[in-house]
């Protein structure tokens, strides 16, 4: 393939043009990441006077720490729950809007709004609605005979952050699903209708399989989002409580490092998170391009 | 096997677009009907209404004695071949053929048998396990045909099924579709804007214009006896030469007696015009040559008769040579004239005793 090429007579110019982006990447990403890796091999005393190099002790200690393993497990549950919930609802909405075709524009615009809401704000929004004393949803639930208190019940707290996190992500998933559905030629649906498949059958045997690249892409993106971008939501609603019930990995990094001042352990945890991201991104690039196609 | 009966069928799209206007058509059992007409005349709309892909605004459509207006496409027992084939890209060829049968709960053994039979008839057996994207255009076309015949429906509906193929493959598939339709004896409606397809495939040809039927008949009947100016100009490539009678009279040309009263336009097929003087049974018009297209077996001669504002096209046998600007004579045999009404554009029957 031939690409258009610009020849710079000056050898330094390209580097100069790249410099701002490189500087930002180095200052805000590479350097902190390097610091985290370095700290994860060290122990610092609580007053920050002395640091000792201790190899993998921070890591080995983590994997024998029940609190960490517990957090790991909860994060998995959280990630799966948020991903499934937000993708399922987004798929449903996209299918509904796709059927409307023309009048879909307005719904699309409205449905995209939650994505523009900052995580903390989303968290606080849901925290308000589920507030045990003043929340509207809690009120409705109590009328239905359901007692809701995410300050006491770990399950309630988990449900709360799941809803808040899923709600925010639905818009994003919806847009991708809708775009995917609209690129499925109408004649395929028509051919299937003539072939005797009802609307549901058509959806599951024609449209959904053709969406598989989108679905897989969103799966990775959503897991990524839930594991790493939900700090604000947890912070705005439960702060990891009650009794560590919602202390997911990304929140634990902050809680242990900044509140517990255990910098070494916190750094090790963030390095593990980083490795998980790298793993997910690798899977994404490796398989999205090849395996998931028809 | 079924006949199809359209009675007063009307389609109005949102925005008051009247695509089909009060149309009546009977299609006999086993007949192959071809719909032709200019782009936007409502051919696809009509076909899709028969298929159940568009709602029917007014009128009734019957397939084999059942009014299908309210039936879903699946319940009409028809099969459709789309212009873009609409093969399911994620299924193998076999999967594509099986899909309709599976949805209808056909027993497994019968599915296998029918798929194999269809594959044999269409010679797509070697590709059964391939995905559609691994096939050439012609092979995809066959698979699309296979998907239609495997279900043994009451009727086939074709919407320009060959328009994505090259000329050679198209003529090959045309013959094949004709043969297949004859063998299976399935009632078929075929939409095309290819003249050759329309003429060679049709048992019955329907010429449409602006949501209305202009003429229905056997292909040759329509060609040799067009009932309106529109059909005369549309059918044939090139279409009929149309000359306004006032211009002829202004030239002092001697009009034959049998031209009926109130004729506004006369028409003459390009192959009926003779170049050069040809005797008293002809209207002779001197003129100049504009261009010649040599096709090989025949020549298309473009010229302008003195005093007429329209170009005349002559289909001359063999190779006709000449330079632009040469003087030529167009001889129009009086017996081959078609006369069209001044007001309605409909055909007027030439009668020997009219004058
Ligand atoms: N979904 C629609 N909404 C509104 N108008 C439509 C719609 N589909 C078709 N039309 C209009 O109905 C008329 C007939 O369209 P149709 O597709 O049946 O034409 P056609 O004869 O198949 O033309 P072509 O040879 O170009 O395929 C056109 O004027 C078209 O603009
Ligand atoms: Mg069409």
Mind listing the pLDDT tens digit for each residue in B326-352? 999 999 998 888 999 988 888 887 654
Residue A245 pLDDT: 81
B172, two tokens:
């090959």
Residue B234 pLDDT: 92
Percentage above 70 pLDDT, chain A: 91
A129 vs A190: which has the higher pLDDT: A190
Measure the CA–CA gap between A87 and A218, rounded to whole angstroms.
8
ipTM score here? 0.83
Cα dihedral A196, A201, A203, A206 sign: negative
- Does ligand 1 come within 6 angstroms of the Cβ of B19? yes
Residue B195 pLDDT: 87
Is residue B164 within 8 angstroms of chain A, CB to CB? no
B146 Cα–ligand 1 center, Å: 27
Is residue A92 within 8 angstroms of chain B, CB to CB? no
Measure the CA–CA gap between A124 and A138, rounded to whole angstroms.
15
Residue B233 pLDDT: 92
Give yes or no for residue A7 having a pLDDT over 80: no
Contact (Cβ atoms closer than 8 angstroms) between residue B157 and residue B34: no
What is the position in ligand 1's atom list of the atom closest to the CA of B37? 21
User: Which residues of A are less than 8 Å from B74 in CB distance?
Assistant: 193-198
Q: In the β-sheet with B58-63, what is the strand arrangement from edge to edge?
A: B17-27, B4-13, B58-63, B66-67
Q: Give the number of residues written for chain B.
A: 355
Full set of structural domains in chain B with CATH: 4-224 (3.40.50.300), 238-340 (2.40.50.140)
Q: Count Cβ atoms below 10 Å from residue A149 Cβ, excluding itself.
A: 14
Contact B103 A209 (CB under 8 A): no
- Does ligand 1 come within 6 angstroms of the Cβ of B21? no
Measure the CA–CA gap between B208 and A98, rounded to whole angstroms.
34
Greatest Cα pair distance in chain B: 78
Print burial letters for A61-79: b (CB count within 10 Å at least 16), e (below 16).
ebeeeeebeebbebbeebb
- Per DSSP, what are the bridge partners of residue B315? B300
What is the position in ligand 1's atom list of the atom closest to the CA of B193? 25
DSSP secondary-structure letter at B213?
A: E
Q: Counting Cβ atoms within 10 Å, is residue A24 exposed (0-12), middle (13-18) or buried (19+)? A: exposed
Give yes or no for residue A259 having a pLDDT over 80: no
The radius of gyration of chain A from alpha carbons, rounded to an integer in Å, stands at 23
Cα dihedral B116, B119, B124, B129 sign: negative
Residue B219 pLDDT: 94
Q: Which residues contact A63 (CB under 8 A, 6 or more apart)?
A: A69
Q: Give the number of residues written for chain A.
A: 294
Q: Counting Cβ atoms within 10 Å, is residue B312 exposed (0-12), middle (13-18) or buried (19+)? A: buried
- Rounded to 5 degrees, what are φ and ψ at A257? -80, -50
DSSP secondary-structure letter at B228?
A: B
Q: In the β-sheet with B311-317, what is the strand arrangement from edge to edge?
A: B274-275, B327-333, B282-294, B298-305, B311-317
Is residue B63 within 8 angstroms of chain A, CB to CB? no
A167 vs A44: which has the higher pLDDT: A167
**Looking up tokens 């339709």, which residue turns up?**
B181
Judged by average pLDDT, the poorest of A33-42, A98-107, A262-271, B187-196 is A98-107
DSSP secondary-structure letter at B135?
A: S
What is the position in ligand 1's atom list of the atom closest to the CA of B13? 4
Is residue B302 within 8 angstroms of chain A, CB to CB? no
In chain A, the residue whose alpha carbon lies closest to the alpha carbon of B144 is: A191
Cα dihedral B11, B80, A186, B167 sign: negative
DSSP secondary-structure letter at B260?
A: P
Residue B352 pLDDT: 46
Question: Which residue is closest in CA terms to ligand 1's atom 4?
Answer: B13
Measure the CA–CA gap between A125 and A118, rounded to whole angstroms.
10
**Looking up tokens 């092979």, which residue turns up?**
B139
Q: Which of B74, B84, B131 sits opposite A196 (nearest CB)?
A: B74
Spans of chain B below 50 pLDDT:
352-355
Q: Are strands B282-294 and B327-333 parallel, antiparallel or unpaired?
A: antiparallel
Chain A and chain B share a number of CB contacts under 8 A equal to: 60
**Looking up tokens 């030439």, which residue turns up?**
B350
**Average pLDDT value over all residues in chain A:** 82
Is residue B333 within 8 angstroms of chain A, CB to CB? no
Give yes or no for residue A229 having a pLDDT over 50: yes
The packing angle between helices B137-149 and B108-122, to 10°, is 140
Residue A268 pLDDT: 84
Q: Which residues contact B314 (CB under 8 A, 6 or more apart)?
A: B270, B271, B273, B275, B300, B301, B302, B303, B330
Q: Which of A195, A206, A212 sits opposite B100 (nearest CB)?
A: A195
Q: Which CATH number fits domain A56-291: 1.25.40.10, 1.10.1530.10, 1.10.3720.10, 3.40.50.10860?
A: 1.10.3720.10
- Confidence band for A101, pLDDT divided at 50, 70 and 90: low
Q: Which sequence spans correspond to the domains of chain A? A: 56-291
Would the pTM count as exceeding 0.90?
no
Measure the CA–CA gap between B216 and B239, rounded to whole angstroms.
18
| Closest C-alpha among A78, A77, A223 to residue A162 | A78
């Amino acid at each position: 393939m031939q690409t258009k090429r610009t020849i710079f007579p000056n050898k330094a110019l390209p580097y100069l043009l790249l410099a701002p982006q490189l500087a930002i990447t180095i200052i805000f990403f590479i350097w902190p990441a390097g610091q985290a890796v370095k700290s994860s091999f060290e122990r610092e005393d609580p007053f920050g006077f002395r640091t000792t190099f201790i190899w993998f002790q921070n890591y080995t200690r983590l994997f024998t720490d029940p609190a960490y393993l517990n957090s790991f497990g909860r994060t998995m549950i959280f990630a799966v729950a948020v991903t499934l919930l937000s993708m399922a609802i987004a798929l449903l909405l996209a299918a509904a809007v796709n059927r409307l075709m023309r009048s879909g524009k307005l719904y699309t615009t409205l449905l995209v709004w939650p994505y523009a809401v900052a995580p903390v704000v989303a968290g606080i929004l849901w925290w308000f609605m589920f507030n045990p004393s003043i929340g509207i949803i809690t009120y409705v639930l109590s009328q239905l005979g359901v007692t809701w208190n995410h300050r006491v019940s770990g399950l309630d707290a988990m449900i709360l952050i799941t809803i808040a996190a899923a709600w925010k992500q639905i818009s994003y998933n919806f847009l991708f699903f809708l775009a995917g559905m609209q690129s499925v030629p109408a004649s395929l649906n028509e051919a299937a209708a003539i072939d005797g498949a009802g609307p549901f059958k058509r959806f599951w045997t024609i449209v959904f399989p053709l969406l598989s690249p989108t679905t897989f892409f969103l799966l990775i993106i959503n897991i990524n989002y839930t594991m790493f971008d939900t700090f604000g939501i947890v912070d705005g609603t439960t702060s990891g409580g009650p009794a560590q019930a919602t202390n997911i990995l990304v929140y634990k990094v902050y809680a242990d490092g900044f509140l517990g001042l255990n910098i070494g352990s916190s750094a090790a945890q963030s390095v593990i998170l980083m490795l998980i991201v790298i793993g997910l991104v690798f899977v994404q690039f490796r398989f999205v391009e090849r395996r998931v196609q028809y | 096997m079924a006949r199809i009966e359209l009675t007063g069928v009307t389609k109005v799209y949102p925005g008051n677009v009247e695509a089909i206007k009060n149309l009546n058509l009977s299609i006999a059992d086993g007949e192959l009907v071809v719909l032709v007409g200019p782009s936007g005349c409502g051919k696809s709309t009509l076909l899709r209404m028969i298929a159940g892909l568009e709602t029917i605004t007014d009128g009734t459509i019957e397939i084999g004695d059942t009014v299908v207006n309210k039936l879903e496409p699946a319940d009409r027992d028809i099969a459709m071949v789309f212009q873009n084939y609409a093969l399911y890209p994620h299924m193998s060829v076999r999967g594509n053929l099986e899909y309709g049968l599976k949805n209808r709960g056909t027993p497994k053994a019968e599915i296998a048998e029918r798929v194999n039979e269809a594959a044999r008839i269409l010679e797509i057996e070697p590709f059964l396990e391939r995905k559609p994207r691994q096939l050439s255009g012609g092979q995809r076309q066959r698979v699309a045909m296979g998907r239609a015949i495997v279900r043994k429906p009451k009727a086939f509906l074709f919407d320009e099924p060959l328009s994505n193929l090259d000329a050679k493959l198209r003529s090959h598939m045309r013959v094949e579709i004709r043969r297949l339709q004859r063998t299976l004896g399935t009632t078929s409606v075929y939409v095309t804007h290819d003249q050759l397809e329309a003429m060679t495939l049709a048992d019955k040809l329907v010429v449409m214009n602006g949501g209305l039927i202009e003429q229905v008949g056997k292909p040759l009947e329509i060609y040799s006896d067009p009932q309106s100016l529109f059909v005369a100009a549309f059918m044939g490539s090139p279409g009929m030469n149309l000359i306004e009678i006032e211009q002829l009279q202004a030239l002092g040309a001697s009009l034959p007696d049998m031209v009926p009263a109130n004729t506004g336009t006369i028409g003459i097929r390009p192959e009926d015009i003779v170049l050069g003087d040809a005797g008293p049974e002809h209207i002779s018009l001197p003129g100049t040559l504009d261009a010649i297209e040599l096709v090989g077996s025949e020549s298309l001669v473009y010229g302008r008769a003195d005093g007429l504002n329209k170009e005349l096209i002559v289909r001359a046998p063999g190779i006709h040579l000449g330079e632009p600007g040469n003087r030529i004579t167009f001889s129009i045999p009086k017996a081959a004239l078609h006369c069209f009404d001044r007001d309605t554009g409909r055909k007027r029957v030439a009668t020997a005793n009219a004058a």
